[in-house]
Amino acid sequence: MPFWRRPEPQPPASTRRQGKRMERARRKAQRRFRRRLMRWGFAAGAFVVGLAVVVSLLLTSLPRSRAPAATPGQTPLPGPTPTPPPILTPVATTTAPSELRRPPSQGAAHINPEDPHPPYNTTPPTSGWHWPYADSWGIKTTPREDELLVHNLEHGGVIASYDRELLTPEQVKALEDIFRRQREFPCYLIVTPYPRPIVDQQTGLRYPLALTAWTAIQYLANVDEEAIQKFIDQFRNRGPERVACTP
């Protein structure tokens, strides 16, 4: 065989094995690098999405700018609708007591505390739906619910309900003293703050004080002792259901 066709010598087997190991290591390193690139890409994408969400929230939370004012001779540009002022119940300014009223009876049905019922025809009520038990007589320092005190009216009680926002502490004490001076106090007498504004449903006026008995009501603009005494004398212990009381 001519010398130019003589086969080239092969590297030793150990050299070939070492080359294969290096090739496998190179490919493994390439795969790790590609995985790192993918993780970095996902992280960058999540960061961009989160940044977009934050920017969107900031833009929506910014206050809207008011519409620019129109120049003279131009039609005014539309702007935000102004919030109407709150409607306040007018307070009675007269010092004279209102007329004595005798609203029609709304019955004397017993209901449970959680039962609903139609609205009363006066504020405070003078008859109607009430709980099966009554309150004790005397001076109260915390408001009572209508459904409780209507039962006292049925037993012949006279109740003075006052608005703590419209009566001074001195006026409240004067009112309580008038009731304490009554014979056989506290039988059939209650003085209590009212849990809501005392509004005459006929006139819409708010009063600081109301006297109630069964199907009888009178609003007072101040602590009028003469009017209070007259109301007590006329209606005390004259309810449709008589219940004995020992002072």
* Domain containing residue 112: CATH number: 3.40.30
Confirm if 247 and 187 have CB atoms less than 8 A apart: yes
Based on the fold, state whether residues 37 and 107 are members of the same structural domain: no
Distance of CA 244 to the CA centre of its chain: 41
Residue 65 belongs to a domain: no
Place of tokens 């049905």: 109
Is residue 68 in some structural domain? no
* pLDDT higher than threshold 50 for residue 81: no
- Whether the pTM exceeds 0.95: the reply is no
* Domain shared by 143 and 46, yes or no: no
The angle that helices 225-235 and 169-180 make with each other, rounded to 10 degrees, is 40
Q: Is residue 39 part of a domain?
A: yes
pLDDT digits (tens, 9 = 90+) for 28-76: 766 776 776 566 565 666 666 667 666 666 666 655 544 444 444 444 4
Give me the domain span that covers residue 47.
12-60
Residue 185 φ then ψ, to 5°: -60, 140
Tokens of 239: 């309810």
pLDDT score for 192: 98
Return the ∠ at Cα 151 (arms to 165 and 224), rounded to 5°: 40
- Max intra-chain CA distance, the chain: 151
Find how far residue 141's CA is from the centre of its chain: 24
Residue 49 belongs to some domain of the structure: yes
Q: Are residues 123 and 233 in the same domain?
A: yes
Into how many domains does the chain fold?
A: 2
